[in-house]
Amino acid sequence: MELLNVQKARSVWLFDSNDLNPRGRSIGTDLFEWIKARYHFEKVPSSVSDLDKTKALHFGNGKFRVREDGSTGQPLGEDVTVELRVYNDGIVGDTRSSSKDTDAFLADVLDSATREFGLSYTPALIRRKLYVSELNVRMGASMMLLNPKLDEFTAHLRGALGSNSPTELAGLAFWPDVVPKPDQFVFRLERKWGFAFSEQRYLAIASLQTERHIELLSELEQMLSSYD
Among the listed residues 86, 93, 83, the one whose alpha carbon sits nearest the alpha carbon of residue 42? 83
pLDDT at 70 over 60: no
Give me the residues paired with residue 201 across strands.
Answer: 138
Angle made by CA atoms 114, 117, 119, in degrees to the nearest 5: 45
58 Cβ contact list (under 8 Å, min separation 6)? 43, 45, 51, 52, 83, 84, 85
Flag the least confident range among 69-78, 93-102, 148-157.
69-78
- Quick one: average pLDDT of 154-183? 85
pTM, to two decimals: 0.89
pLDDT score, position 79: 93
Residue 73: pLDDT band (50, 70, 90) is very low
pLDDT score, position 80: 96
- In whole angstroms, what separates CA 96 from the centre of its chain? 8
Q: How many CB atoms lie within 10 A of CB 185?
A: 15
pLDDT at 63 over 90: yes
pLDDT at 72 over 60: no
pLDDT score, position 162: 93
pLDDT score, position 67: 73
pLDDT score, position 74: 44
Which of the two residues, 25 and 122, has the higher pLDDT score?
A: 122
Pairing relationship of beta strands 90-95 and 2-14 according to DSSP bridges? antiparallel
How large a percentage of the chain has pLDDT more than 70? 92
pLDDT at 163 over 50: yes
Residue 100: pLDDT band (50, 70, 90) is very high
Which of the two residues, 131 and 26, has the higher pLDDT score?
A: 131
pLDDT score, position 137: 97
pLDDT at 141 over 80: yes
| Maximum mean pLDDT: which of 46-50, 115-119, 177-181 | 115-119
Q: What share of the chain is helix, strand, coil (3-state, %, to 5)?
A: 30, 30, 40
- Quick one: average pLDDT of 207-225? 94
176 Cβ contact list (under 8 Å, min separation 6)? 186
How large a percentage of the chain has pLDDT more than 90? 73
pLDDT score, position 147: 87
175 with 152: CB under 8 angstroms? no
pLDDT score, position 68: 62
pLDDT at 88 over 90: yes
Among the listed residues 8, 40, 21, 5, the one whose alpha carbon sits nearest the alpha carbon of residue 133? 8
